[in-house]
Amino acid sequence: MCERAHHHRFPARPPACLRVCVPSNRTTGQSKRTMSLSLVLRQRSAATAAVSARGLHLMRPGSVYNFRLAAVAAAAPQQSHHPGAAGAVASSPINHHHRTFLTMACAQQQQRCVSIDNINPAIKTMEYAVRGPLVIRAGVIEKELEEGVKKPFKEVIRANIGDCHAMGQPPITFIRQVLGLVSYPPLFDDPTIPADAKQRARAILDGCKGGSVGSYSDSAGIEVIRRHAAEYIQRRDGGIPADWQNIILSAGASGGIKVLMALLRCPIDGKKPGVMIPIPQYPLYSATIAEFDMEQIGYYLDEANKWGLDIAELERSLAEARKVSAPRILVVINPGNPTGQVLSRANIEDIIKFAHRERLVLFADEVYQDNVYEPGSQFHSFKKVMMEMGAPYSGMELCSFMSCSKGYMGECGIRGGYAEIVNLCPDVRTMLLKCISAQLCPTTAGQAVLDCVVHPPQKGEPSYERFEREKAAVLESLRERAELVARTFNSIEGFTCNPVQGAMYAFPQIRLPPKALEAAKKEGKPADTFYAFQLLEETGICIVPGSGFGQRPGTYHFRTTILPQPEKLKEMLGLFKSFHEKFLQKYK
Residue 424 gets which letter from DSSP? -
Averaged pLDDT score across all residues of the chain: 81
Residue 333 gets which letter from DSSP? E
Instruction: Name the range with the highest mean pLDDT among 53-62, 158-167, 168-177.
Output: 168-177
pLDDT at 35: 37
Mean pLDDT of 122-127: 68
How many angstroms separate the first and last alpha carbons of the chain? 28
Pairwise CA distance, residues 216 & 202, whole Å: 17
pTM: predicted TM-score of the whole model, two decimal places: 0.76
Residues near 549 by beta carbon (within 8 Å), at least 6 away in sequence: 2, 129, 279, 280, 281, 282, 283, 338, 507, 557, 559
For 534, the 3-state DSSP assignment is helix
Closest C-alpha to 128, from 21, 341, 290, 284: 284
pLDDT at 24 over 70: no
pLDDT at 244: 96
pLDDT over 90 for what percent of the chain?
57
CA trace torsion 387, 391, 397, 398 (10° rounding): -20
For 171, the 3-state DSSP assignment is coil
pLDDT at 325 over 80: yes
Contact 246, 260 (CB under 8 A): no
Pairwise CA distance, residues 527 & 529, whole Å: 5
Cα distances (angstroms) measured from residue 160 to each of 163, 377, 543: 9, 25, 4
87-91, 369-373, 545-549: which has the minimum mean pLDDT? 87-91
Q: How confident is the model at residue 566 (pLDDT cuts 50, 70, 90)?
A: very high
Class of 125-168+480-587 in CATH? alpha beta
Taking 3-state DSSP, the helix, strand and coil percentages for the chain, each rounded to the nearest 5, stand at 40, 15, 45
pLDDT at 166: 84
pLDDT at 281: 84
Pairwise CA distance, residues 258 & 267, whole Å: 17
Q: How confident is the model at residue 105 (pLDDT cuts 50, 70, 90)?
A: low
| pLDDT 10s digits, 207-228 | 998 888 888 888 888 999 999 9
pLDDT at 51 over 50: no
Q: How confident is the model at residue 145 (pLDDT cuts 50, 70, 90)?
A: very high
Contact 507, 498 (CB under 8 A): yes
Identify residue 77 by its one-letter amino acid code: P
In total, the chain counts a number of residues equal to: 588
59-68, 333-342, 404-413: which has the minimum mean pLDDT? 59-68
Alpha helices, H only, 422-463:
426-437, 444-454
Mean pLDDT of 502-516: 93
Delimit the domains of the chain by residue range: 125-168+480-587, 174-464
Mean pLDDT of 155-166: 88
Q: Are strands 505-506 and 558-561 parallel, antiparallel or unpaired?
A: antiparallel
pLDDT at 131: 63
125-129, 155-159, 241-245, 435-439: which has the minimum mean pLDDT? 125-129
pLDDT at 513 over 50: yes
102 versus 117: which is more confidently predicted? 117
Closest C-alpha to 414, from 257, 252, 253: 252
Closest C-alpha to 139, from 317, 12, 310: 12
For 570, the 3-state DSSP assignment is helix
pLDDT at 180: 95
Question: Could you tell me which CATH number the domain at 174-464 has?
Answer: 3.40.640.10
